[in-house]
């Protein structure tokens, strides 16, 4: 009996030891397993790549502007100011900025344009052209006075051609500071070459006034195209209520003064002359339009020329008592505007015709047009 009890006690102790060892082994195994599982999948490793972002980072994307066609190669109708600058960058040389000598001038129009970093020669190289600024009145006269017409500016052309042989004429509009040479790029060059270059062929935000490459500038009044179209920037005065006579408004920015009826009455004439001929013009339309109205063909058929004239008069803010027909040569001054919102497809345009034989500077009856055709934007 005693022997049996001893065997049972021995079995119980062995069983307890075995169970304890088994439990210890199980606990160790579980601990090791948990450690292995936890080490195989970190919650958020710092080096984990973001697949989309790292393969196409936003900052490496090519800016949209660089994908656009070169500005100077777009048709003029599609070009508009992309922002309103704080002020003018530069203007064509005044009487205090002497032209370079003919020997040091930029290459002739058939040669390659000069580099944008080229500097004009010293002021002693050639006599300065006569470019006395146009006097802009502090207030608009109530009626036209022929004395305000002054000289045409034709006398400046030869001096400016010493600087750049692409000068074709001179535009002067009394009542404004528009008193500039007009350029035309040489055959084979971008027709809008001067959109963003100055008289020295250097880069310029303001550009110059220029005509398209197919415009004709022959001898005498009949040497011009039926429609001499001149383009120019307006970076500073393109609101729905443009100002009059601000000195910061250069190139065609002061053209917008013809928005106002009183200004249209006081200044119905302008000068555009070539080196051979001094030419006065009388305004017959001042209007806003969308680019769907194709008014910029310099050499239209007779029928298309008549249609442009009638279309301009129908769109004009003012009714000018000026007879004009398809036999008249006209001049078209075209610039940018935002008068009808942010669309780039709108323009402000002034049209005039050559004075006919026997006509002189006399007051023109100008009244408001109660129902002009407006831009369709």
User: Scanning the structure block, which residue is given the tokens 């049209």?
Assistant: 351
Residue 211, beta-bridge partner list:
230
Per-residue model confidence as pLDDT tens digits over 45-88? 333 333 333 333 333 333 333 333 333 334 443 343 333 333 33
Q: Is 373 a member of any domain?
A: yes
Q: What is the pLDDT of residue 193?
A: 95
Joined together, the tokens standing for residue 339 give 């008068």
Looking at the domain assignment, is residue 372 inside a domain?
Answer: yes
Rounded average pLDDT over 313-327: 98
| Residue of 360 and 16 predicted with greater confidence | 360
User: What is residue 18's predicted lDDT score, i.e. its pLDDT?
Assistant: 72
DSSP state letter for 148: G
* DSSP label at residue 149: G
Specify whether the CB–CB gap between 216 and 298 falls below 8 A.
yes
Q: What are the backbone dihedrals phi and psi of residue 215, each rounded to the nearest 5 degrees, phi first?
A: -70, 145
CB atoms inside a 10 Å sphere around CB 193: 21
**Tokens 């002061």 sit on residue:** 254
| Mean pLDDT, the chain, integer | 77
Cβ atoms 224, 217 nearer than 8 A: yes
Does residue 178 form part of some domain?
A: yes
The token pair at 67 is 């994908």
In a domain, 19, yes or no: no
Structural domains in the chain (count): 1
pLDDT at 318: 98
Q: 125 pLDDT band (50/70/90 cuts)?
A: very low
- Maximum separation of any 2 CA atoms in the chain, in Å: 158
At residue 5, the 3 state secondary structure works out as helix
Cβ contact 348:255 at 8 Å: yes
Query: Does 51 reside within a domain?
Result: no
Domain annotation covers residue 272: yes
CATH number, domain of 353, equals 2.40.260.10
Which range marks the domain in which residue 235 is found? 167-377
What is the average per-residue pLDDT within 191-197?
Answer: 95
């Amino acid at each position: 009996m005693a022997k049996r009890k001893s065997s049972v006690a021995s079995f119980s102790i062995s069983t307890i030891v075995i169970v304890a060892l088994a439990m210890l082994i199980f606990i160790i195994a579980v601990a090791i397993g948990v450690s292995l599982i936890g080490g195989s999948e970190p919650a958020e490793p710092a080096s984990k790549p973001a697949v989309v972002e790292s393969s196409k980072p936003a900052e490496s994307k090519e800016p949209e502007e660089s994908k656009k066609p070169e500005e100077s190669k777009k048709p003029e109708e599609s070009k508009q100011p992309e922002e309103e600058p704080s002020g003018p960058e530069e203007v064509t040389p005044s009487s205090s900025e002497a032209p370079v000598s003919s020997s040091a001038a930029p290459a002739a129009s058939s040669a390659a344009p000069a580099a944008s970093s080229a500097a004009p020669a010293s002021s002693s190289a050639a006599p300065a052209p006569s470019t006395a600024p146009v006097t802009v009145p502090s207030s608009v006269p109530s009626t036209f006075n022929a004395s305000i017409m002054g000289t045409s500016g034709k006398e400046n052309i030869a001096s400016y051609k010493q600087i750049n042989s692409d000068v074709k004429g001179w535009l002067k509009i009394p009542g404004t500071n528009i008193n500039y040479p007009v350029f035309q790029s040489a055959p084979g060059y971008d027709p809008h070459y001067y959109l963003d270059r100055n008289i020295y062929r250097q880069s310029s935000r303001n550009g110059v006034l220029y005509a398209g490459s197919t415009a004709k500038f022959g001898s005498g009044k009949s040497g011009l195209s039926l429609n001499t179209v001149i383009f120019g920037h307006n970076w500073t005065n393109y609101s729905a209520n443009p100002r009059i006579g601000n000195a910061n408004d250069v190139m065609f920015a002061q053209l917008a003064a013809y928005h106002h009826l009183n200004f249209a009455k006081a200044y119905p004439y302008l000068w555009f002359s070539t080196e051979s001929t001094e030419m006065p013009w009388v305004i017959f339309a001042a209007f806003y339009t969308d680019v769907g109205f194709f008014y910029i063909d310099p050499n239209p058929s007779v029928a298309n020329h008549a249609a442009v004239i009638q279309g301009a008069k129908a769109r004009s803010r003012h009714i000018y008592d000026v007879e004009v027909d398809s036999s008249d040569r006209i001049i078209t001054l075209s610039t940018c505007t935002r008068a009808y919102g942010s669309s780039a497809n709108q323009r402000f345009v002034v049209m005039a015709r050559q004075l006919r034989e026997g006509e002189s500077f006399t007051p023109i009856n100008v009244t408001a047009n109660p129902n002009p055709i407006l831009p369709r934007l």
